[in-house]
Amino acid sequence: MIFLRNEKQLDKMRKAGAVLYEILQKLAEAVRPGMSTLSLDAYAEELIRRAGAVPSFLNYQGFPNSICTSVDDTVVHGIPSDSEILKEGSIISIDCGLILDGWQSDSAITVPVGAIAPEVQRLIDVTEQCFFEGAKMAVADNRLGDIGYAVQSLAEKNNYGVIRELTGHGIGKNMHEDPNVPNYGEAGKGVRLKSGMTIALEPMISMGSYDVEMHDDGWRITTADGSFCAHYEHTIAIGEGLPEILSYPGFSWDEYFKNAKESI
């Protein structure tokens, strides 16, 4: 069942998104070579609780931590560890979710660890751009396939792989609600989008193939060919015009179009 949110509900999701945005900014600033992914998780949990929110990942289907830390060829669901020390030249995707006043927000960013190779920075840039290409299509009366098609088109134009086994999702009172939001698809196909739908759109883009493997821990998912993968996610609200990015307060589509990189 796909829920439609009213303005009062959207306002609660807006507040949750604003808190999450601030936390992810702080986590990104804290990333440096030599730190363990577990220390980043401890900082995340402290920030979430200090804001009066609840970490939604912690104990979710048994997940042991408050963030997923997915380094280099890890696509998603990396479990923070005190033996995993970040190295210069790596990239880390930080995926974080929280509940504030009963409403969920979910967002992920990929950040460099120290100096990284230009081609790896490009992967991060294109993955973010894939999100915005998809988000542009998240407008009432479009179809779900329009979003996936837009994400896939930009990724494949750059010879990147679009992870298919993992998707975005509806979000609201629960972290994962209907519908699934794939990062590939056919334009004009799938569920018709409606004003008031709230979804997490989250491209996961690899420098190589889109095949993935599950790690022995039952959580960590890596690219099968070992290529680096980036992840970028926001919780958005669909309306009649361009969507509101609930986990990115202050974002303006006007500014975005003014600064858009044309060559990507």
Between 135 and 261, name the residue whose CB sits nearer to Mg ion.
135
Closest CA to 13 of 173, 179, 253, 201: 173
Between 161 and 168, name the residue whose CB sits nearer to Mg ion.
168
Between 108 and 116, name the residue whose CB sits nearer to Mg ion.
108
The residues that bridge with 116 in the sheet, in sequence order, are: none
Binding positions for Mg ion, rule: CB under 5 A: 95, 106, 108, 200, 233
- Separation of alpha carbons 162 and 153, rounded Å: 10
Shortest reach from residue 96's CB to Mg ion, in Å: 7
What are the DSSP calls for 7-37, one per residue?
A: HHHHHHHHHHHHHHHHHHHHHHHH--TT-BH
Query: Rounded to 5 degrees, what angle do the CA atoms 73, 82, 31 make?
Result: 60
Between 12 and 234, name the residue whose CB sits nearer to Mg ion.
234
Give yes or no for a contact between 77 and 68, defined as CB atoms under 8 angstroms apart: yes
- Separation of alpha carbons 111 and 12, rounded Å: 28
Shortest reach from residue 177's CB to Mg ion, in Å: 11
Shortest reach from residue 107's CB to Mg ion, in Å: 6
Shortest reach from residue 43's CB to Mg ion, in Å: 18
Between 100 and 252, name the residue whose CB sits nearer to Mg ion.
100
Shortest reach from residue 13's CB to Mg ion, in Å: 14
- Separation of alpha carbons 229 and 31, rounded Å: 18
